[in-house]
Amino acid sequence: MKEKSTEHKVIKATGTNLLNLLRPYILLVGLLILLTIASNALSLVVPKIISNAIDTYTQGNFVLQSVILEFFLVVFFVFILTYVQNIMQTYTAERVARNLRTGLIAKISVQDYSYIQYATPAKLLTNLTSDVDAVKTFVSQAITSIISSVFLLVGASVLLLLINWKLALTVLSIVPVVGLLFYLVFSRIRKLFKKSQEVIDWLNKVITESILGSALIRLLYAEHYEYQKFRAASTEAKSIGFSILRYFATLFPVIIFTANMAILIILVLGGHFVVIGSMSLGNFTAFYSYLAILIFPIFIIGFMSNAIAQADASYQRIGEVLNAEEKKETGGVVSQLRGDIAVKNVSIALDKRIILTDVSFSIQAGTKTAIIGPTAAGKTHLLYLLIGLLKPDSGVIEYDGKNIDAYDKKSLHQQIGFVFQDSIIFNLTVRENIAFSNTMHDEDLHKAIATAELTDFIEALPQKLDTVVSERGTSLSGGQKQRIMLARALALNPKILLLDDFTARVDTNTEEKILSNIQKNYPHLTLVSVTQKIAPIEKYDQIVLLMEGEVLAVGTHQKLLETSPEYVQIFESQRSTSNYELQT
Amino acid sequence: MYKFLNRSAAQAIMNYKLKGATSQEKQGTLVTALGRLIPLLRGEEKNLLITFIAILFSAGATLAAPVIIARAVDVYIQAKNYHGILILSGILLGIYIVGSITSYIQTITMGRVGQRVLFNLRNNIFMKLQELPIAFFNQNRAGDLISRINNDTNMLNQFFAQSLAQFIGSSVTIFGIGIFILILNIRLGAATLVPAFIVLGVTQVLSSWVQRKNLTSLRSLGGMSAEIQESIENFKVMVAFNRLDYFREKFNQANVINYRASVGAGVANNLFAPLYDLSYDLGQLIVLTYGIYLITTGNFTVGLLIGFLLYANNFYNPLRQFASVWSSLQLALAGLNRISEVLALHSDMPVVAAEPNASPFMLEFKDVSFRYPEGKEVLRHVNLRFDKGKTYALVGPTGGGKTTIASLMARLYDPTEGMVLLDGRDIRSYQPQERTQKVGFILQEPFLFTGSIKDNILYGNPQYRDYSTEELHTLLEKENLSDLLEGFEQGLDTPISSSGDTISLGQKQLIAFMRAVLRNLELLILDEATANIDTVTEQLLDKILNKLPASTTKIVIAHRLNTINEADEIYFVNSGEVTAAGSMQNAVDMLLHGKRES
């Protein structure tokens, strides 16, 4: 699908079985089973009491008080046991769901960026919500229902066999018939459930895009078109729903009919036994009572088969995430970076599109480097490689002479600040958006804020640093967002700062101030800045000119003016206004 | 006239914030709650009737079977008449067949009703989202909205598809058998029903509490969904800033909140199954003891007692099913509650009537002020005039109000005071279609939909929507736009993923630019639309803009001075106020030395 999809191959077969899911909860489930069996065993006694009462009554030695006492005791315990059992199953199901989510998130959070793009956010969201819920329903309803159903089936069968084995065997012949029916429908319906979850991914994607692109949609009056897109996905969901429904609508009546056949058998055959005198009327009645117990679980299994099929399909999807291959953890070198960077013969292609070809240059600690070049030259991807968001197909990236892979990722990221080109603001307080943790030193935070020229802006906010900014940061202007992103990078107190077209949305005056603030407050910083404007970088130690994924020239402003015609062309394109810019 | 209109508009933007995980309110009781579901079934009358008839038949079958069995026992088995037993068995077989067929009809009809209700609800919410203005999206989290469309509607589907038929069927059966056993023996019958009434009373009392628990649980699910959605969409920041642990922690908080709310809802929902079971057992006890008492007084027979036990069984079994249906109903109602919250919202940006020729300008701002909800004033009494066919530039420090001005020009918002006039008329008097055909606004942050470059260039363009790739190529050639495609290896067919990063921001801006140019607009607003494009390509874009028809009015917001030096007029925007700069030199002076606020 996406680039490097082979790396995300799913390890098959291990643990995508629903029963494996329950292994860690063996104690809880065991307790649950025990409770279920106990309450069901007790409830089996009820018809026995009734049948005894009728028989003793017809024989004339009926004692009302003992019947009522027995009955009350049994019923009271059944009530207590079922209630405790119900609470337990809720608790177990919610625990399973919570831990499954925690597990998913733990897994997702150790994956790299390319995995998220491969799996798509829309699908991961379905995995964490709808899929987990399907599994939860299975645990909360299906497990105990099926256990108690099976238990009731077995219990009632044994009792029936004890009363009259010939009649019982005939009646029980319906059980394998029902089993076969389930099997046939089940194998077909599984695929449909998987498909229906995939349609939810699709719906999620359309909704997400319609929300993220809401301004564009309104500007282009494309609301109706978006609705058509949604309707297509929604219609598909409906038609899959119809297909699933057809199976179940057929399955239920057939099962009910089969179960009813058992009643008929009792009447015809049991009636015959009573007529010829080989069975008492009390036993005949008891047979009916037990049959009611026998049929009820068959219905329940019928209802639950839906939940099981759904959970099974969902758990497979969850398993794909949980069993996805993890990227090999990079090395464990934890060291203070000096700031030397070397890019050696780096090439990368994404989606079979060549992004960078044989890119090499080096940067000395404490210097300033600008990367300049036309749109789609590969500048942003180069920065992604430097921060480790992407891995090169060939070539190496070195920090202080050591391969980037040798470093502990955590310590590396703590020393490299990155300002993304697109504004990414979280639905958090300004403080959290900048510090991104609750443990940052106020000193570092305020230095970063001051450097990004945000002090006045934050002072003007109603709750200062603790003001929550909205999800897509829409209450902030483009430049404010950009500066928050800068503060976020600077708050790390980085050794190296990577700027991706940071100045594009900041006015010249602020830009100047910020750049001199950085110089003053972070004097030993190694700066790598992707930019479009030449004027601010004329005094940089080196400029890398990147075009169509290749390095055309490396050198100082003066040198490039003399040697690179492409650089001169870019310089010329900015000359008309440079007399204004120079005034700064 | 303005004054009158001003007053009606003189309020902050409507509050579109939906309720979060913490707010609480009272829920109705079971009966009133059921009433709220009825409107969803409009148009399904015929299917409901079919279902109802099918239910009557299957309930009739359920009712008739024990009668026949009781008769077989009393009359034929005791009389040892095997022939009679066989005849009754034949009748019983017929009844079972009828029962199965009607049960099929009932399940499939009602299941389809459920699917259609779900389909319509889902579509209605999405449609509503499309009707709501941009302010709504700024105030609500994407993940929560997704949860409302997918998870909450599904609660209703489950109820309609699985539980409603069961609910009706059970009700009919319960009612029928209830009456039947009362007729059979009024005293024993009444005694049998006592536990059922008690348990229904308890249900009614606890109804609103359970529904509240469910609502809290669904809300926390929405909150968690929002957390996940936001984090995963922005995964690269998490990685680069080494904050995946923070992400995990934030998620785990939401997860635990959801866990607690769900356990709470589960405990409430599960209270009823054992309670209904208890009532069943008590019912049986009453039949047995009271029945035996009646037999001793000579008013009853053993055969009738066995029959009565079966009826009690048939009365209480559907009642026990009721317990599970009932919690599914509570969940459905909680879901409906959250859905209704969205459906009840309405856009506060209606199309109003206005007199024509109120202004000779292409665009005019008359005393316009604007504030975001709960925010400070962004624009203060701004007056601006834009002539047809001229080029204007808006400059100023970040956060000064430039984007807000542009948003008002395209009616993404309405001013909180004053009026925006487009081509002589109040901008609010245009139908959206008419307005969007006149005004184009290239946003600061371009957004692309999953699809191809071609899909994105033609997005929202009714004129060229059905163009083939070749036709579009020819068109781009004609409009001098084809050079801009150079960077895309597969040209117009280059695939795009909205959450992917294979297309650079500059390239996204190029696509947005092409999309706008192809729309033949009267007013084109570029809000830092080329900020991430290299200056050489930018010159190309300038040339393209210059070739647009002379009647096109252009408004450019930019930080780069070369993008604005061809403007006929430059406005300086700062602290919500706008001043004409007069000349480029003045503009630069203001930018560099003026008072700043941001």
Using a CB–CB cutoff of 8 Å, tell me whether B143 touches chain A.
yes
Cβ <8 Å between B150 and A217:
no
For A397, which DSSP code? Answer: E
B-interface mutation test, from A55, A196, A198, A216, most B Cβ less than 10 A away: A216
ipTM surpasses 0.85: no
Cβ <8 Å between A267 and B142:
no
Using a CB–CB cutoff of 8 Å, tell me whether B204 touches chain A.
no
Tell me the CATH class for B30-343. mainly alpha
Cβ <8 Å between A237 and B119:
yes
B-interface mutation test, from A44, A375, A383, A506, most B Cβ less than 10 A away: A375
Q: Does A239 have pLDDT greater than 90?
A: yes
What pLDDT is stored for residue B31 in this prediction?
A: 61
Residue type at position A115:
Y
What pLDDT is stored for residue A71 in this prediction?
A: 81
- Tell me the pLDDT of chain A averaged across its residues: 81
Name the A residues in 60-119 with CB < 8 Å from any B CB: 62, 64, 67-68, 71-72, 74-75, 78-79, 82-83, 86-87, 89-91, 93-95, 97-98, 101-102, 105-106, 108-110, 112-113, 116-117
C-alpha A556/C-alpha A577 separation (Å) is 22
Using a CB–CB cutoff of 8 Å, tell me whether A173 touches chain B.
no
What pLDDT is stored for residue B30 in this prediction?
A: 55
Cβ <8 Å between B240 and A263:
no
What pLDDT is stored for residue A44 in this prediction?
A: 72
First CA to last CA across chain A, in angstroms? 50
Q: Does A236 have pLDDT greater than 90?
A: yes
Using a CB–CB cutoff of 8 Å, tell me whether B83 touches chain A.
no
In 3D, which of A310, A305, A245, A306 has the Cα closest to residue B112? A245
Report the DSSP beta bridge partners of residue A418.
A498
CB-nearest partner of B537 from A234, A374, A418:
A374
Q: Confirm if A17 and A334 have CB atoms less than 8 A apart.
A: no
User: How far B174 CA sits from the closest chain A CA (Å)?
Assistant: 17
DSSP 3-state assignment of A405? helix
Domains and CATH numbers, chain A: 5-322 (1.20.1560.10), 341-581 (3.40.50.300)
Neighbouring CB atoms inside 10 A of A66's CB total 12
Token pair for residue A292?
């009611």
Name the A residues in 135-154 with CB < 8 Å from any B CB: 140
Token pair for residue B540?
């190309």
Band (A437; pLDDT cuts 50, 70, 90): low
Cβ <8 Å between A380 and B504:
yes
pLDDT tens-place values along chain B, 598 residues long: 333 333 333 344 556 667 654 444 444 555 666 677 778 888 888 988 998 898 888 878 877 887 788 778 777 777 777 888 888 889 989 998 998 899 899 888 888 888 888 888 888 888 888 888 887 887 787 788 888 887 888 888 778 767 777 777 778 778 888 888 888 888 888 888 888 889 888 888 887 888 888 888 888 888 888 888 777 777 877 777 777 777 788 888 888 998 999 888 888 888 888 888 888 888 888 888 888 788 888 777 777 777 787 788 878 888 887 777 777 888 888 888 888 888 888 887 888 887 777 778 888 898 898 887 766 778 888 888 888 888 898 888 777 788 888 888 888 888 888 889 888 888 888 888 888 888 888 888 888 888 888 888 888 888 888 888 888 888 888 887 888 887 787 888 888 887 667 778 888 888 888 888 888 888 899 888 877 888 778 788 888 888 888 888 889 887 766 667 778 888 888 888 888 877 777 777 777 665 444 4
Alpha-carbon Rg for chain B, nearest whole angstrom, is 35
Band (A572; pLDDT cuts 50, 70, 90): confident
Report the DSSP beta bridge partners of residue B496.
B451
For residue range A382-407, what is the model confidence (pLDDT) as tens digits? 888 888 888 888 888 888 888 888 88
pTM of the complete model: 0.80
Using a CB–CB cutoff of 8 Å, tell me whether B209 touches chain A.
no
CB-nearest partner of A83 from B81, B149, B274:
B274
Pairing relationship of beta strands B451-452 and B439-442 according to DSSP bridges: unpaired
What pLDDT is stored for residue A16 in this prediction?
A: 56
Name the B residues in 341-380 with CB < 8 Å from any A CB: 372, 374-376
User: How far B93 CA sits from the closest chain A CA (Å)?
Assistant: 7
Minimum Cα–Cα distance from B111: chain A residue: A245
Question: What DSSP string describes B519-555?
Answer: T--SEEEEESTTTTS-HHHHHHHHHHHHTS-TT-EEE
Using a CB–CB cutoff of 8 Å, tell me whether A506 touches chain B.
yes
Report the DSSP beta bridge partners of residue A87.
none
What pLDDT is stored for residue B97 in this prediction?
A: 92
In 3D, which of B388, B405, B394 has the Cα closest to residue B552? B388
For residue range A109-124, what is the model confidence (pLDDT) as tens digits? 777 777 887 888 888 8
What pLDDT is stored for residue B136 in this prediction?
A: 82
User: How far A196 CA sits from the closest chain B CA (Å)?
Assistant: 12
Using a CB–CB cutoff of 8 Å, tell me whether A427 touches chain B.
yes
For chain B, residues classed under CATH 1.20.1560.10 are 30-343
For A333, which DSSP code? Answer: B
CATH superfamily of B363-593: P-loop containing nucleotide triphosphate hydrolases (3.40.50.300)
Distances, alpha carbon B296 to alpha carbons A47, A58, A355, B181, B485, in Å: 21, 11, 96, 20, 98
Cβ <8 Å between B532 and A532:
yes
Question: What DSSP string describes B207-253?
Answer: HHHHHHHHHHHHHHHHHHHHHHHHHHHTHHHHHHTT-HHHHHHHHHH
Name the B residues in 223-252 with CB < 8 Å from any A CB: 224-226, 228-230, 232-248, 251-252
User: How far B32 CA sits from the closest chain A CA (Å)?
Assistant: 28
Largest CA distance in chain A: 122
Question: Chain A residues with CB inside 8 Å of B575's CB?
Answer: none
Name the A residues in 5-34 with CB < 8 Å from any B CB: none
What pLDDT is stored for residue A328 in this prediction?
A: 65
**For residues A270-298, average pLDDT:** 77
B-interface mutation test, from A120, A384, A471, most B Cβ less than 10 A away: A471
A164: left (phi over 0), alpha (psi -120 to 50) or beta: beta
Question: Chain A residues with CB inside 8 Å of B274's CB?
Answer: 79, 82-83, 86
Sign of the four-CA dihedral A350, A353, A357, A360: negative
Cβ <8 Å between A207 and B238:
no
Q: Does A15 have pLDDT greater than 50?
A: no
For chain B, residues classed under CATH 3.40.50.300 are 363-593
A-interface mutation test, from B228, B279, B411, B456, most A Cβ less than 10 A away: B228
For residue range A71-103, what is the model confidence (pLDDT) as tens digits? 888 888 888 888 888 888 888 888 889 989 888
Max avg pLDDT among A106-115, A318-327, A490-499: A490-499
Size of interface A-B (CB pairs under 8 A): 506
Q: Confirm if A93 and A139 have CB atoms less than 8 A apart.
A: yes
